[in-house]
């Protein structure tokens, strides 16, 4: 019912109460249940209070007493916490002693203690942890690092001596896997970064755990070291995993903001326990139909090169959208190789063939002129290359890390009915954890395309912006409706795309394991650049901005995304769409 802290002078009641695991009843506690008393939550609250003061220099902080009083109706609890803050201390400096092994300058760079700064137990413990991890990375599996404080009561300072004992070099004798009833051992061994017979590396173990968490077919990964009986310099690694369902079949019928949609997909992320992926997909909507098949083998070679291929066929008729009207059929196949460069990065190379037929062109002069000049049928050889770096801590909803992707597409002639053009793209999204479970996220995306003689992209390869879908996401505006317009006021797209977003992911109870709620601000548009070809109609060539709230939900029907947004600078020809939802895909 109520929590009182008595004896605090340096910090307000609000500051201290926000640190506790318990809370007085309010609107949010209906979801968080933090107002439900238990001994465990009481103990956690007292420890949180103690840690808060020790991290703000109050070395002699003391909890005098804690009282729990039951109301006469036995439904409410009143908590009183009596404290003594004591004086605030500052760091006088630090020293490193013992057998350091690593260069002294390296160890000193890991220490967070700064002379003159307010004493913080957290900084001391994190310094100890950083030194231990650095020693663990070079084979010292069980280092002992202790912090010895020397307190000067006259000037209220603390001098810290870090005493280092690296211990012995430790080797990994054997790596055992448990819980993988479907996944073959060799699949997990290909992902694990630690080798048998090699020096133990805490960095490699941590990276192995991160790599395993990125797999769709595993969850609850735990790696522990077990000393080998009779050997003081050997350990076994026990990798405990819990397998998640690796097959995913989804089907949905709904009405999105771009019209009715029918989706069906089957994905097997761990085909026959080999770690290979196969997928089938079908999508039907107002603007066309898509059929896809894909296959990927991440262990195509023993050196870690992956190979994948896909087949696709789609029909397009966007007359129900606010874009220039035409209809087409497109089909093709691609083969892609992924070559790892480092733990978190790789390069991609690919080739493929695409055939396309423009069936009708409507009344749009630009498209009619294109067809009159180049024809309706096109056959292209497509070469692709790319680079990616992914430091996400987990999927599908990361808490920290950055994912970057850069790519180039070169369309080359396969027959006389071919066009020559290229497209380049770069996309990055990052997550940074903040306090109290909040997460900052930012995304940037740029795409550019042209022919080799700067005559402009084929109209059907143009970029579009607006709506909830990526690329070109600017929520609050109608889907694909920003940028240059044709003579009828419909978007025709352009050869340069720029868009970005910043947001704050809200903590529990708003966001959970399968739900993520965010506040966001978007910016973006498409532009005509680097080509002498002038479009008739209107070229709306300024950035558009919006802001709002978004919800991502991994529902039983598949991943869904919802947004409620307000455009900040919509112009007269812009079509706005405050609410939008769609089947979404992660990046």
pLDDT at 405 over 90: yes
Domain endpoint, select from 144, 165, 186 = 165
Task: State whether 368 and 300 are in the same domain.
Answer: yes
Alpha helices in 147-301, H assignment, sequence order = 185-191, 202-213
Is the same domain home to 182 and 302? no
Select from 136, 165, 194 the last residue of a domain.
165
Q: Tell me what pLDDT residue 585 has.
A: 43
What are the tens digits of pLDDT across the range 57-88?
A: 999 999 888 877 777 776 777 788 898 999 99
Q: For 268-284, what is each residue's pLDDT tens digit?
A: 888 888 999 999 888 77
Span of 11-25, 334-348, 370-384, 564-578 with lowest mean pLDDT: 11-25
Final residue of a structural domain among 84, 103, 126: 84
Whether residue 9 sits in one domain with residue 45: yes
Q: What are phi and psi of 17, to 5 degrees?
A: -65, -30
Q: What is the pLDDT of residues 177-229, one digit of tens each?
A: 999 999 999 999 999 999 999 999 988 999 999 889 888 888 889 999 999 99
Distance CA 481, CA 323 (A): 7
Give the CATH number for residue 573. Answer: 2.40.160.50
- Looking only at the bridges linking them, the beta strands covering 157-165 and 90-98 are parallel
Residues 308 and 409 reside in one and the same domain: yes
Please give the DSSP secondary-structure letter assigned to residue 39: H
Q: Are residues 295 and 149 in the same domain?
A: no
Is the CB of residue 235 less than 8 Å from the CB of residue 173? yes
- Domain with residue 79: its CATH number is 3.10.20.310
Predicted confidence at residue 256, as pLDDT, reads 46
Same domain? For 420 and 332 the reply is yes
At 472, is the pLDDT very low, low, confident or very high (cuts 50, 70, 90)? confident
Sole residue written with tokens 């004086």: 87
Closest by CA position to 261, among listed 227, 223, 290, 234: 290
What's the pLDDT score for residue 307? Answer: 97
- List, as own/partner pairs, every contact residues 216-224 make where C-beta atoms lie below 8 angstroms and the sequence separation is at least 24, other chains included: 216/244, 216/246, 216/248, 216/269, 216/270, 216/395, 217/183, 217/243, 217/244, 217/245, 217/246, 217/269, 217/270, 218/183, 218/242, 218/243, 218/244, 219/243, 219/244
Q: Whole domain around residue 530: which residue ranges?
A: 247-585
Do 236 and 382 fall into the same domain? no
Task: Say whether both 200 and 219 belong to one domain.
Answer: yes
Same domain, yes or no, for 126 and 69? no
Instruction: Tell me the helices (H) and strands (E) count for the chain, helix number first.
Output: 8, 27
Give per-residue pLDDT as tens, 320-360: 555 567 788 999 999 999 999 988 899 999 999 999 998 88
Average of pLDDT values for 165-181? Answer: 93
Helix, strand, coil % in the chain, rounded to nearest 5: 15, 50, 40
Q: Which pLDDT score is estimated for 324?
A: 60
Confidence of residue 292 (pLDDT cuts 50, 70, 90): very high
pLDDT at 538: 45
**Cβ 263 vs Cβ 251: under 8 Å:** yes
Same-domain status, 414 and 274: yes
Helices 202-213 and 121-136, axial angle in degrees (round to 10): 100
User: Percent of the chain, pLDDT > 70?
Assistant: 88
What pLDDT is attached to residue 586?
Answer: 37
- Identify the burial level of 135 via C-beta atoms within 10 angstroms of its C-beta, where 0-12 means exposed, 13-18 middle and 19 or more buried: buried
Q: Is the pLDDT of residue 587 over 50?
A: no
d(CA 206, CA 36): 36
Pairwise pLDDT comparison (128 vs 419), residue with the higher score: 128
Cβ atoms within 10 Å, residue 121? 18
Cβ(143)–Cβ(136) below 8 Å: yes
Residue with tokens 């956690």: 44
Assess whether 101 and 190 both reside in one domain: no
Regarding whether 234 and 306 lie in a shared domain, the answer is no
Nearest to 410 by CA among 497, 352, 333: 352
Q: Domain total for the chain?
A: 4
Of residues 23 and 228, which shows the higher confidence score?
Answer: 228
Q: What pLDDT is stored for residue 430 in this prediction?
A: 96
Give the pLDDT confidence score for residue 456 in this predicted structure.
Answer: 76
| DSSP, res 523 | E
* Separation CA 544–CA 521 (nearest Å): 11
């Amino acid at each position: 019912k109520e929590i009182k802290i008595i004896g605090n002078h340096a910090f307000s009641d609000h500051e201290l109460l926000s640190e506790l695991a318990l809370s007085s009843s309010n609107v949010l506690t209906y979801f968080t249940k933090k107002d439900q008393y238990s001994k465990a939550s009481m103990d956690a609250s007292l420890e949180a209070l103690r840690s808060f003061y020790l991290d703000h220099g109050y070395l002699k902080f003391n909890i005098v007493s804690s009282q729990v009083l039951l109301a006469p109706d036995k439904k409410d609890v009143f908590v009183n916490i009596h404290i003594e803050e004591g004086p605030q201390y500052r760091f006088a400096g630090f020293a490193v002693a013992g057998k350091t092994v690593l260069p002294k300058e390296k160890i000193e760079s890991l220490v967070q203690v700064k002379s003159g700064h307010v004493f913080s137990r957290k900084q001391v413990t994190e310094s100890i942890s950083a030194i231990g991890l650095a020693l663990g990375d070079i084979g010292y599996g069980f280092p002992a690092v202790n912090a010895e404080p020397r307190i000067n009561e006259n000037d209220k300072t603390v001098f810290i001596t870090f005493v280092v004992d690296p211990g012995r070099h430790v080797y990994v004798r054997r790596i055992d896997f448990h819980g993988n009833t479907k996944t073959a051992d060799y699949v997990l061994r290909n992902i694990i970064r630690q080798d048998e017979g090699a020096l133990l590396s805490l960095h490699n173990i941590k990276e192995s755990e991160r790599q395993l968490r990125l797999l769709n077919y595993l969850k609850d990964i735990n790696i522990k070291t077990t000393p080998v009986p009779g050997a003081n310099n050997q350990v076994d690694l026990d990798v405990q995993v819990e397998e998640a369902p690796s097959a995913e079949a989804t089907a949905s019928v709904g009405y999105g903001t771009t019209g009715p949609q029918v989706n069906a997909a089957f994905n097997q992320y761990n085909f026959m326990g080999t770690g290979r992926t196969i997928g089938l997909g079908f999508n039907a909507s107002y603007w066309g139909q898509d059929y896809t098949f894909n296959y990927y083998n991440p262990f195509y070679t023993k050196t870690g090169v992956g190979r994948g291929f896909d087949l696709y066929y789609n029909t397009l008729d966007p007359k129900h959208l606010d874009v220039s009207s035409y209809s087409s059929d497109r089909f093709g196949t691609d083969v892609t190789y992924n070559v790892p460069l480092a733990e978190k990065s790789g390069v991609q190379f690919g080739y493929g063939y695409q055939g396309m037929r423009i069936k009708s062109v409507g009344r749009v002069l630009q498209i009619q002129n294109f067809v009159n000049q180049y024809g309706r049928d096109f056959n292209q050889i497509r070469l692709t290359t790319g680079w990616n770096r992914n430091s996400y801590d987990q999927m599908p909803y990361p808490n920290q890390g950055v994912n970057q992707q850069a790519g180039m597409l070169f369309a080359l002639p396969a027959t006389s009915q071919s066009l020559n053009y290229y497209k380049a793209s770069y996309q990055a999204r990052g997550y940074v954890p903040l306090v109290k479970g909040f997460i900052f996220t930012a995304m940037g995306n740029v795409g550019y395309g042209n022919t080799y003689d700067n005559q402009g992209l084929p109209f059907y390869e143009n970029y579009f912006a607006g709506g909830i879908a990526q690329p070109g996401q600017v929520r609050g505006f109608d889907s694909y409706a920003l940028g240059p317009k044709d003579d009828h006021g419909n978007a025709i797209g352009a050869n340069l795309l720029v868009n970005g977003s910043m947001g704050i992911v809200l903590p529990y109870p708003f966001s959970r394991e399968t739900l993520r709620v965010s506040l966001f601000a978007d910016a973006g548009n498409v532009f005509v650049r680097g080509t002498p070809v002038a479009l008739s109609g209107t070229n709306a060539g300024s950035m558009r901005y919006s802001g709002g709230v978004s919800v991502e939900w991994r529902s039983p029907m598949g991943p869904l995304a919802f947004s409620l947004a307000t455009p900040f600078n919509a112009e007269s020809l812009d079509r706005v769409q405050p609410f939008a939802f769609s089947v979404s895909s992660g990046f």
